[in-house]
Amino acid sequence: MAKKIEKRTEKKAAAETSSVVLKQEENVGVVQIADDVVAMIASLAATEVEGVGAMVGNITNELMSRVGLKNLTKGVKVDVLENNVTVDLAVTMEYGYNIPATCQSVQTKVKSAIENMTGLNCTDVNIRIAGIKVKA
């Protein structure tokens, strides 16, 4: 019996560290958003901007995508503290686009997408240019 309670406590603690509680009402329940969902929103919003070639992940993400397991959150790191979100993106730009203007568009789009879809406050959107994609 003690092991079951301990396992439930561990699962609950793991869920609390990787999600944020949006709304907690006594009569209805709790709404939680996982950090991966916020990361996916940021990734999709960033790749919609013209001039962004792709998101860049670490070596593990790159190897996993080659064997068929695609990770839609690669190149995105999200930190949620209370209701404030900080996003770090690693992107590959397409050749011929103005990097500062494109990055500003990405920052605006990611910030508005996260705030509109989750209700969280996006405080920072940091972008790291990992490379330039040249069309062949």
129/131 Cα distance (integer angstroms): 6
User: Residue 129's beta-bridge partner residues?
Assistant: 91
Please list the alpha-helical segments (H only) found in 18-122: 35-47, 59-66, 99-118
In the chain, what are the domains? 34-133 (3.30.70.1350)
- pLDDT tens digits, residue range 126-136? 999 999 988 87
Per the structure block, which two tokens stand in for 17? Answer: 């560290």
Backbone angles phi, psi at 125, to 5 degrees: -125, 100
42-62 pLDDT, tens digit per residue, is 999 999 999 998 888 754 444
* pLDDT the model gives residue 27: 72
Which pLDDT belongs to residue 71? 59
Kindly report the pTM of this predicted structure: 0.73
Would the pLDDT of 66 be above 90? no
Determine what percent of the chain falls in helix, strand and coil, rounding each to the nearest 5: 40, 35, 25
Residue 96 confidence (pLDDT): 93
Render pLDDT for 72-114 as a digit per residue (tens, 0 to 9): 677 899 999 888 999 999 999 999 999 999 999 999 999 999 9
Is the pLDDT score of 10 beyond 80? Answer: no
